[in-house]
Structure 1
Amino acid sequence: MCGIAGYLSKTEKLQEDALDTMLNTMILRGPDGDGRYIEDNILLGMRRLSIIDIEHGWQPFYANNGQVVAFQNGEIYNYPQLQKELIQLGHNFVSNSDTEILAHGYFAWGIEKLLEKLDGMFAIVIYDKVSQKIHFARDRFGEKPFYYFYDEQKFLYSSNTFAINKVLGDFSINQEAIYDYVLTHFISGEKTIFNGMKKLLPGHRLEFNLKDFDYKINQYYQLTSSKTQKYSVDALETALTDSLKGRLLADVPVGVFLSGGLDSSIIAVLASKISTVPLETFSMGFDDAKCDESVYSKLVAKQIGSQHHHFYFDSSSFQRLLPEVIKVMDEPIGDQAILPTFWLSHESRKHVKVVLSGEGADEIFGGYGYYNKYVGDTPNNSIVTKLVNYFTKPKPLLQPYVDYQSNELGSGFPLVASMHDLHNLFNPTLPRLDYQQYCYYPVQNSTSVQFAQSVDIQTWLANDLLVKLDRMSSGVSLEGRCPYLSRTVVELAYSLPDNLKIDKNGGGKLLLKQLGEKYFAKDFIYRKKQGFVLPMEQWIEEWMQSRNFNEYFIHLNNIGMNLNYLQTVFLDKGRVRMQFSMLVLNEWLANYKKCL
């Protein structure tokens, strides 16, 4: 894992200290050193967290006698196979780094074919000096971030928002992004918390033409449902094992986040079969027994013979860590699990430099209970008909489907706040549909369950779960990897018929559970799904006890929020999700001003 940043100017000769400023915002992402490529009006750089080929893996890497220049944030897991292919084509390598195959692979195959071949998590930069084009691309599901700013005179990009802010000055807050955040506790699509700054979407690439000083964006990957997949426990185990073989590649210690749930337990048991050394596993416990699954993580750790590390998170941890967590967030995320994820990452980093985590399993295998209502629907029924009708109307390409009457995303994901809340917090006359900015594309040949999964993969997974893992782990110089997000695993799981995702009793992830039966007792596998449930009501109450409400929430007031209505939300004990997301937004706004 690394951080990347760069600055392109149309006419101005750039000073290297601009790149210094950008890279200094991501030292935690890459504490081991930096790499640069500089021309008069081009600054390209990175900060490195050394994972593969510690001695020789310094970026940038070159091909075609220095005419191709490559940088990367992330990892290419199938680089050994691609390196062999390229050597057979006559390419010579100076390292065993996964980034070097990007330079040679681009020169050999071109950008589209290279991206098609990659299995990894990445944000990549490839400068073709011959064509005077710079290619940027982001991985298929959004594991690694890529932000950018463009006007007719300059183009800046970075792994975080703060790098661009530091160089160009204070950006104004994007009010539409605030509305988005209030509704869902994250920010979806291309937009960011800042006006004028954008995200490159997962599965997309950006081609910048230095001659015209302009760019175009193309989608290079779209999730589709295949009817030719082999649906079996053995096929799934093979796909997951292959994914883990790549994600265990490292020249530093690798561990596993082991919550004790099905997803992480399967990763741990399969990884233990591959690893040549005993795994290190890590879990988080809570002082509230209703929220603690540590008994199960300890059972799995004992079964696989891992060196297990268990940590605790309590009310004092909340009070102490919330300000620390906010500092590593370049955009606000109101997910309650950010705090224990940060602490788990912090403590794990004392033992390993890479961890495997279970993000993506619920979305691709159909693990959420709200998918049940779509089972058996065909493309002529319910959600699919609504979505198809929605997209056949003349609306902007990236408009979403959001069901405001039931306060859900199109998947069934429950909104944190309602339109009623949004109107009362800001302006009762706000038009209802101005907040539909989620990235969503129709998927061909899909069932209603698959449509719902697709919405979650592009919103909840890409803009909350993966952002949370990336920011919380990179904030302590730890690399997080997601074995379930191998393209092969995702497409196999997504293509499953409904009856292999959701059983007759409404339980999800059926095929994954059947795989689990090979290794664990049925009462372990089929126990009620717990998730990351925290005693948040008590923690928020304790946080607010010593704070004057109106004085504390001054930063929300400054963006136009009605604090009288917000106070009614905090008096309602059933609104904990919204309360926490508002705490995070307020703390983030305060910290953002300090950072600048």
Structure 2
Amino acid sequence: MCGILVAFNKKEKIDDSACRRAFSNLMWRGPDSSFSFVWEDRLFYGQSILSITGEPIGAKGSHLESKSGRYHLLFNGEIYNFLSLKKQFLDNMPDFDLRYGTDTEVLVNLHEVLTPEQVQTQLDGMFSYVIFDSLKRRIFVSRDVQGEKSLFIYEDSNWLVISSEIKPIITLVPDISIDYQALRDYFRTRHLMLFERTVYRGIRNLMPGHLETFDLDSFKWSTTRRLKLKDWIDPQRYKDNINRSTGSLIDELDDILNKCTSEMVPKERKYAVVVSGGVDSSLLAHYFVTNHKPVKLIAVNHVGKDLISCDLTGFEITLGQNIETIEIDMSTYSKEISRCQNVCGGPLYSHSFVPQSIQSARVQASGCRVLIGGEGGDEFFGGYDSYLRCIGANGVFSPSPYTAHQIPKVIFSKDDPTLLEQVLKNIWTESLNAYSFVENEQERTLLAAMYCDASYQLPAVGLRGADFMSMMWGIETRSVYVRKPIVQFALNLPLQLKVDIKGREAPLLRTKPLLKKLFLRYFPKELLVEKQGFSGFPNESALYLGDPSDYKAVRHLEIKKESLPAALRDRDSVWKLINVEYFLRDTCS
């Protein structure tokens, strides 16, 4: 994992010292080393490095450059199939050798033999990267289709800035203003989910699967490719799976998980695995403990709230390894909010970010470099109870509460949600089209709801939390359930193996039945319990903020005070007010 910063001044010589100050905000993402260069006095590009694959430190940045010197790479992520790509495309390249053993060397040199579009489709991994083509004077920016690694872009008449996080952009261009409509739109979605927008005007989020090109002479962008998860849906494979036995599909998933977990073990680096007591993380822990023995199993317990992680004895017995449980109380939780928001460059995308940060800090303190997590299991395998309540729904928005349009409980004096509403309609149309071959309307609607959550909610919330909250402590999170082979498997599963809408399964198997049946191969049935969902202390954090009617959020978002009593009776609205208030108090003098 690494931090990326690119700054291009369209009009004059770049201020190298200012760029380096901005770049310093990314040092926690790459505590092992960092490199920066200036090209033709106008283009700054820098990378901080957390060394996980190979030994790049001695390269002093040379591993970021292709053999011919034409291509220069800034890369955040891991390419799990880099050795097979080397064998397929690079072994016959004159004078090429994997001198430092890194996936970075393979990725940059693939551009010597393949087009940027071809490179993107070959990769199995998590990534965002910038490629500078010094011959054609172009910059390519790319992001994985699962959306694990974020990349933010700002542009005005003077600047183009590309960064792994928002804060370096704000540091370099400090007069960028807050987009208060974006904050209002937060009250219309379950979590902070703005898609291409951010809470700052002019800063956009490169969408998952996008490959875009910027010409350094014309200053013009072009979208080169837009990969989507629906590109991995195969109607014939889906139909074939309908006729297969559940047992054979469980066997296939077992083999895929076993292979993927083996490939994701960091070589010669200590690592930890999350074991929350839920199906997703516990099943992954089985594969890692059985085959590769992590240094640490770790969990979080919100004192007095978590009904599962408060006692993980049964999992310790089954896995044969102790689980370190971090106790988090209300005070600890509340004190961490501002630090997490500083990394996010805005309000928290979800209240789950706080325990993720605290957990990553403990992992770092233990000497580990990598944390294995279970993000994506619910979205791809049908784990949310809300999917059972989507039956019969098919309007202009997704019926899933995670990507639905919600009517805010607060009333704004000034408000224009048109843009958000149109995006929500568009993604729901895309999701329905992804499963247009499914004839049964009810099945198509539910599959589309899960697809919508996986394509848009997961990258914006769950995966961003895994990235930001671990990287702020110099830890790389690897999310097994969003590996390409697993996602391809899950997207082509028939509905009845994701959600049991006909009531044929036992109550505990009505959501993600296939994954749970695999879980029961390795864990006693007593450990399969009803999903708790996230707890924590988000709303209790209001204790430190005073009277809500005096909140900066009320003034800056132009909230009508007479609407506050109703909003304060709604749990979700209370957290959103708290989240925005913490951000505005730290940001607005």
- Partner AA of 1:247 in structure 2: M
Give the letter for the 2:188 counterpart.
L
Check conservation: 1:335, 1:581, Cα contact below 8 A: no
Aligned to 2:153: 148
| 1:565 shift after superposition | 2.5
State how 1:340-351 maps to structure 2 within 5 Å: 340-351=355-366
1:302 aligns to 2:317 (yes or no): yes
Contact map agreement 1:426 1:562 (CA 8 A) in 2: yes
How far has the Cα of 1:456 moved from its partner?
Answer: 0.8
Kindly provide the amino acid, as one letter, of the partner of residue 280 in structure 2: D
Verify the 8 A CA contact 1:557 1:563 in the aligned structure 2.
no
Q: Tell me which residue corresponds to 2:441.
A: none
Residue 425 (str. 1) matches residue 412 (str. 2):
yes
Q: Within 1, Cα distance between the matches of 2:403 and 2:145?
A: 25
**Is 1:335 aligned to residue 350 of structure 2?**
yes
Q: For residue 72 of structure 2, what is the aligned residue in structure 1?
A: 69
Residue matched to 1:281: 297
2:284 equivalent in structure 1: 267
Partner of 2:7: 7
1:213 maps to which of 207, 214, 219? 219
Equivalent in 582, 585, 588 of residue 590 of structure 1: 585
Structure 1 position 413 matched with structure 2 position 402: yes
1:228 and 2:228 matched: no
**Structure 1 position 361 matched with structure 2 position 363:** no
Structure-2 separation of matches of 1:278 and 1:559: 47
Structure-1 separation of matches of 2:113 and 2:553: 52
Q: Say if 1:43 and 1:535 are closer, same or farther in 2 by CA, change over 3 A.
A: closer
Counterpart code for 2:467? D
Seen in structure 2, the aligned counterparts of structure 1 residues 14 and 535 have a Cα distance that, compared at 3 Å, is closer
* 2:131 aligned with 1:126: yes
1:431 deviates by: 6.6
Letter of the aligned partner of 1:245 in structure 2?
S
Change (3 A) 1:131 1:420: closer
- Given that 1:353 and 1:478 are in contact with CA atoms closer than 8 Å, whether structure 2 keeps it comes out as yes
Deviates more, 1:492-501 or 1:126-135: 126-135
The structure-2 alpha-carbon separation of the partners of 1:102 and 1:541, relative to structure 1 and needing over 3 Å to count, comes to closer
Cα 1:345–1:179, aligned 2, differ >3 Å: closer, same or farther? same
**Is 1:462 matched with 2:459?**
yes
1:509 alignment partner in structure 2:
512
TM-score if structure 1 supplies the norm length?
0.87
Asked if structure 2 preserves the Cα contact closer than 8 Å seen for 1:134 and 1:208, the reply is: yes
What is the aligned partner in structure 2 of residue 569 from structure 1? 567
Structure 1 residues 254-301: Cα deviation after superposition (integer angstroms, max 9, x where no partner): 1111101000011100122331x444110111321x523125644223
Question: Could you say which residue in structure 1 is the equivalent of 2:326?
Answer: 311
The TM-score normalised by the length of structure 2 is: 0.88
Q: 2:10, 2:159 within 8 Å by CA — same for their partners in 1? A: yes
Residue of structure 2 in register with 1:31 after alignment? 31
Structure 1 window deviating more from structure 2 (151-160 vs 493-502): it is: 151-160
Two-structure CA RMSD over aligned residues (Å) = 2.5
| Equivalent AA in structure 1 for residue 435 of structure 2 | N
- 1:136 maps to amino acid: V
- Pick one of 125, 132, 136 that aligns with 2:141: 136
Measure, in 1, the Cα distance between the counterparts of 2:553 and 2:184: 15
* 2:475 aligns with one of 474, 478, 483: 478
Is 69-78 or 441-450 further displaced after alignment?
A: 441-450
Superposed, 1:523-538 pairs within 5 Å as: 523-525=526-528, 527-534=529-536, 536=538
- The one-letter code matched in structure 2 to 1:281 is L
Cα 1:150–1:305 shift into 2, 3 Å = same
Identical aligned residues as a percent = 25
Alpha-carbon distance in structure 1 between the residues aligned to 2:403 and 2:64:
45
Assess if the C-alpha contact under 8 Å between 1:139 and 1:203 holds in 2: yes
Is the 1:278–1:307 contact (alpha carbons within 8 Å) kept by the matching residues of 2? Answer: no
Distance 1:12 1:256 in 2: 48
**Matching of residues 167-178 of structure 1 within 5 Å:** 167-178=172-183
What whole-Å deviation, never above 9, does each CA across 1:491-547 have from its counterpart, x for those lacking one? 21121111111234371111111211210122323x21112223655x246435xx2
- 1:492 — aligned with what? 489
Aligned to 2:51: 50
Whether the 8 Å CA contact 1:287–1:312 is kept in 2: the answer is yes
SS at match of 2:434: coil
Indicate whether 1:89 and 2:106 are aligned.
no
Q: Is 2:423 aligned against 1:437?
A: yes
**Alpha-carbon distance in 1 for matches of 2:418, 2:140:** 38
- The 3-state SS of whatever aligns with 2:522 is coil
1:450 equivalent in structure 2: 447
- What residue identity is the alignment partner of 1:191? R
C-alpha separation between the residues in 1 aligned to 2:109 and 2:139? Answer: 15
Deviation of residue 186 (structure 1)? Answer: 0.5
Change (3 A) 1:175 1:593: closer
1:433 to 1:476, Cα distance in 2 relative to 1, 3 A? closer
> Per-residue CA shift, 1:306-345, capped at 9, x if unaligned?
3531110112222332333333221322522222222112
Code of the residue aligned with 2:257 in structure 1: it is L
Tell me which amino acid in the other structure corresponds to 1:585.
V
Instruction: Measure, in 2, the Cα distance between the counterparts of 1:68 and 1:430.
Output: 44
Tell me which amino acid in the other structure corresponds to 1:465. G
